Amino acid sequence: MKALVKARPEPGLWMETRPVPAIGPDDVLIRIRKTGICGTDVHIWNWDDWAARTVPVPLVTGHEFAGEIVEIGRNVEGLSIGQRCSGEGHLIGKLSRQSRAGKFHLDPATRGIGVNEPGAFADYLRLPAFNVVPLPDTIDDEIGAILDPLGNAVHTALSFDLVGEDVLITGAGPIGIMAAAVARHVGARHVVITDVNPARLELAGQVADVVPVNVATDDMAAVKSRLKIVQGFDVGMEMSGSQAALDQMVEELVMGGRIAMLGIPPGKSPVDWSRIVFKAITIKGVYGREIFETWYKMIAMLENGLDVRRVITHRMKAADFGAGFDAMRSGLSGKVVLDWG
């Protein structure tokens, strides 16, 4: 099969020929149709410090996918050959207190396909049947291929009650934009999304009914005045990984405000904890998706009118993966989807 491999400990990925994975009794084999390129994949391409200490070489990469089941292990029940699916890319252990309590997304033994284990940038993927998420006919392969990052957005957005609330999102990358769409879908009053990238802010306005704000040029006080936000924002979602953005979010929240934090500031960042304590701010760290509650909720929302398709800005053949990564690394794209044909 064709597979996109981190073949050497240096920048880049390479299309190679690899054996089709052999499945075990509790696995399925999935014929990959479409995959999304993730920011994590860009880190692996760039071979930054995180990638160098995390990713074994060589490794088939990729973890956002949609495809079709073509083989089933002898112990697998409830799935069928020919069934369309996506899947949870976090492979969990079964022994921890968290896992045994059903809090699978908190299992400390979690390993990721395309990061620690062979991934989905290939013609075929082996996946535990437990991790398979069947796709209804109403969700096509293109949307199925971005359910993983949409799940991050949904998990973040649904961390706190948003009905009637004013929401501030820092970071207009694809996940931040999708989180903005989710917030509006579930009933937030105003959703403001900030960035310093005009192209990303323009895309946010196309995907969702939100207020894009360029913090390099726009005055947040004027934005709040126009929206009749008197005290500040009720809920914040930090998606940028910028300490400056998190600092601004703390300043813009009401007393008792709540922050769901998906972005990761690099290294050890200075934090003015007095502002967080004296404003009684709650911060929740968000990692991945709630397995499988997030999947149920986002599929239901997609079937009930949530539309994030316009966040996909580039579609290309898997053979043109280099151009796809160039688009992602440019900072000018939304989601990039590769077609494995």
By annotation, the residues acting in catalysis are 40, 43
Check: CB of residue 334 under 8 Å from CB of residue 313. Answer: yes
220-225: long-range pairs with CB below 8 Å, 24+:
220/194, 220/248, 220/252, 223/192, 224/252
What lies within 8 Å, CB to CB, of 306 at 6+ separation is: 181, 182, 185, 298
By C-alpha distance, which of 257, 240, 144, 135 is closest to 197? 240
Check: CB of residue 27 under 8 Å from CB of residue 129. Answer: yes
Q: How far is it, in rounded angstroms, from Cα 169 to Cα 159?
A: 13
Pairing of strands 190-195, 64-72: unpaired
Check: CB of residue 179 under 8 Å from CB of residue 71. Answer: no
Task: Give me the residues paired with residue 260 across strands.
Answer: 237, 284
3-state DSSP assignment of residue 57: coil
Number of Cβ within 10 Å of residue 20's Cβ equals 16
Helices (H), 286-337: 293-303, 321-330
Pairing of strands 190-195, 211-214: parallel
Q: How far is it, in rounded angstroms, from Cα 197 to Cα 221?
A: 20
CA 162 to chain centre: 20
Q: How far is it, in rounded angstroms, from Cα 213 to Cα 170?
A: 10
